Amino acid sequence: MKKVTTICLALLFVCNFNVFANGQQESGIPKIGVTVYKYDDNYMSFVRKAIEKAAAEDNSSELLICDSMNDQAKQNDQIDTYINKGVKALCVNLVEPAAGQTVVEKARKAGIPIVFYNKEPAKEVIMGYDKCWYAGITSAEFGIQQGQMIVDAWKANPSWDKNNDGKIQYVLLKGEPGHPDAEVRTSEPIRIIKEAGIGVDELELQTGMWDASKGKDLMETWLAKHGDKIEFVICNNDAMALGAVEALKAAGYFTGDKYMPVVAVDGLPEAVELIKKGQLLGTILNDPKALGLAAYKMTVNAAQGKDPLDGTNYVFGDKKDVRVACEITMSDNLDKAIEAYK
């Protein structure tokens, strides 16, 4: 049967291979090298599990997978190690989207295909190599849907306008600066709100780097500075929202009639629990199973010399990209999010 190999990077970026097999080691099947930008990222931990599960149910490849530990230089060395190990395709979750060209050149020099997933390099990077593709989400759609969720909820709850000025006084927790997802998740919700005829006042906008503890620290600072002037908390991802909610709870919110609407993106199990408790208004489901499966299937097909979409129902966009759908997730439709993260 196919084996799953985990690469642990040691000193000087030497890779050690530990093999976990369901049966006898099998030869004659292509190796594929997968990187995850950071194993302990809440969302990516589920994407990784989806890739590993797809590989465990499939006898068509030998999966090599490793943690890049949020270090692009380390990831570059891991890719070099994969190439030296003879992988037939790469599946890369970039640490830094700007490093896409460097990574592509490694694949091009080795003459092997590469599938980027979750973190999207520039269009010219993907289009510049005939054996390069992308699997991910339509970044802007998350922001658009989050904006619509805010608009609908604001109109349905006029009491949230604490000073009755017809505007939303908001604070925004942004992900990694320069990250394409962070940029559109920051700009698109505000655009949608304004287009709906609702005024906005930005009280704060700072980066929480996708991290719960940073989200908590920033929210504490903002509450100390602005107090009840804050009317809405907008977060680029669930992790930062989890931190923000902790800070809000410590400040007495979500008890009695003291409430703060908080919205996020991903649909993590922890976020679903907060929605159930009425401590998170909603999130936008970013299905890790669907993304992991798409990235894996495309990579295996490419490793076997097939069209990346062979045997799938996926359709390429204009950037040789496969896009996974997202969905507004609130208290009345949690089932899909719960299933996606099982």
Kindly provide the b/e burial profile for residues 253-291, where b requires at least 16 CB atoms within 10 angstroms of the residue's own CB. bbeeeebbbbbbbbbbebbbebbeeebbbbbbbbbbbbb
Report the amino acid identity of residue 331: S
Same domain, 152 and 241: yes
Q: Left if phi > 0, otherwise alpha if psi is -120 to 50, otherwise beta: which for 111?
A: left
pLDDT for 27: 53
- Residue 340 in any domain: the answer is no
**Confidence category of residue 7, pLDDT binned at 50, 70, 90:** very low
Question: In angstroms, what CA-CA distances link 132 with 81, 111, 138, 293?
Answer: 19, 11, 18, 17
Report pTM: 0.82
**Segment 25-75, tens digit of pLDDT:** 345 799 999 999 999 998 999 999 999 999 999 889 999 999 999 999 999
Give the CA distances from residue 41 to residues 110, 151, 181, 214, in Å, rounded to whole numbers and listed in that order: 30, 29, 15, 13
Give the pLDDT confidence score for residue 28 in this predicted structure.
79
pLDDT tens-digit series, residues 116-159: 999 999 999 999 999 999 999 888 999 999 999 999 999 999 99
Residue 223 sits in the same domain as residue 295: no
Q: What is the DSSP string of 251-271?
A: TTTTBTTB---EE-SB--HHH
Residue 194 belongs to domain spanning? 140-286
The pLDDT of residue 272 is above 70: yes
Residues 6+ apart with CB under 8 A from 223: 230, 247, 248, 251
Task: Please answer whether residues 288 and 46 qualify as being in contact, where contact means their C-beta atoms are separated by less than 8 angstroms.
Answer: yes
Residues 198 and 246 reside in one and the same domain: yes
Q: Is residue 153 part of a domain?
A: yes
Phi-psi region of 329 (alpha: psi -120 to 50; beta: other; left: phi over 0): beta
295 within some domain: yes
CATH of the domain at 178: 3.40.50.2300
Residue 336 lies in a domain: no
